[in-house]
């Protein structure tokens, strides 16, 4: 059983910062891409940031220069440092990990349960 559990969400004022963490637990062969999506009520799910096992990153245009994604492969954890937060960043943030349970098995995307980020003005 693979589990991803986000933590670090909360309520902050405009301009504040939060750091989200998402460790992966369970038995598996490898973790490939990890990252974060977010979804606000009435809006489409949006890819916020992704990071490959080799450290290559990509970001949504709306968060570039403000958010930083990183990972610790030894801890099997992906992080999202969120600075200069804006009200439009308010959403439920979901971490994901593309995992191979065993060599030659198909890669499956696993999801965390989500953590609420609310930015007030």
pLDDT (tens digit per residue) in 46-101: 999 999 999 999 999 999 999 999 999 999 999 999 999 999 999 999 999 999 99
What values do phi and psi take at 89, rounded to 5?
-80, -10
| Cα separations in angstroms, 3 against 38, 74, 86, 97 | 18, 16, 30, 10
The stretch 24-49 carries a mean pLDDT of 96
Residues with Cβ < 8 Å from 80, sequence gap 6 or more? 19, 20, 36, 48, 49, 67, 68, 69, 93, 95
| Cα separations in angstroms, 12 against 37, 43, 113, 119 | 19, 21, 21, 5
The stretch 105-118 carries a mean pLDDT of 96
């Amino acid at each position: 059983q693979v589990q991803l559990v986000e933590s670090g969400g909360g309520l902050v004022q405009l301009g504040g910062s939060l750091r989200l963490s998402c460790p992966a637990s369970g038995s598996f062969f490898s973790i490939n891409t990890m990252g974060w999506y977010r979804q606000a009520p009435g809006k489409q799910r949006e890819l916020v940031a992704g990071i490959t096992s080799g450290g290559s990153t990509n970001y949504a245009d709306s968060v570039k220069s403000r958010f930083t994604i990183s990972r610790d492969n030894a801890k099997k954890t992906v992080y999202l440092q969120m600075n200069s937060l804006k009200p439009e960043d308010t959403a439920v943030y979901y971490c994901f990990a593309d995992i191979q349970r065993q060599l030659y098995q198909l890669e499956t995307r696993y999801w965390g349960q989500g953590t609420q980020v609310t930015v007030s003005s």
